[in-house]
Structure 1
Amino acid sequence: MHKLAVDLGVSIKLASKVTSYDVHRPSITLAKGSIVHADLVIAADGVNSSTRKILLGGKESLLQRTGFSAYRAVVDIERI
């Protein structure tokens, strides 16, 4: 996904702590004070997401079961 995004011209910023989100104008504010506007903001910070809490106005939201499962594996390319 990273390679495709870069190939399509997406700007990726690493080591940039996000302190707030604006859901009405897709944008984020970084810890150093800069604001980044985008067509889409993807917050992929996992199960213990701090983003979810920020977007819900500080409220906790328990995860909900979807009935789906995801698996990840590493396989030697020679065995495929």
Structure 2
Amino acid sequence: MANVMIQYTEQGQLSLYLAKKDLEEHITSIEFDSDSKWGGELELANGAVYFIEPFGNKPKLPISVRARRLKAA
């Protein structure tokens, strides 16, 4: 598992930053994206898929969380 930062870009898109690899990619889809449940599988623009434990409420961004890579780019 890796520490990642999820934030909005200047263009208003969600992005995932992985400091260990100096990788920043746009998040193209998120499994749960509502005010009552947020997180799950995150698909990145480069094809990689990461998983973060879903939150009970949508968090205030930017946020640092632990993520597990499910599929490499």
TM-score range, shorter-chain basis? 0.3 to 0.5
Q: Which structure's residues are more often helix, by fraction?
A: 1
- TM-score, normalised relative to structure 2: 0.33
Q: Which structure's residues are more often strand, by fraction?
A: 2
The higher relative CO (CA closer than 8 Å, separation ≥ 6) is in 2
- TM-score, normalised relative to structure 1: 0.32
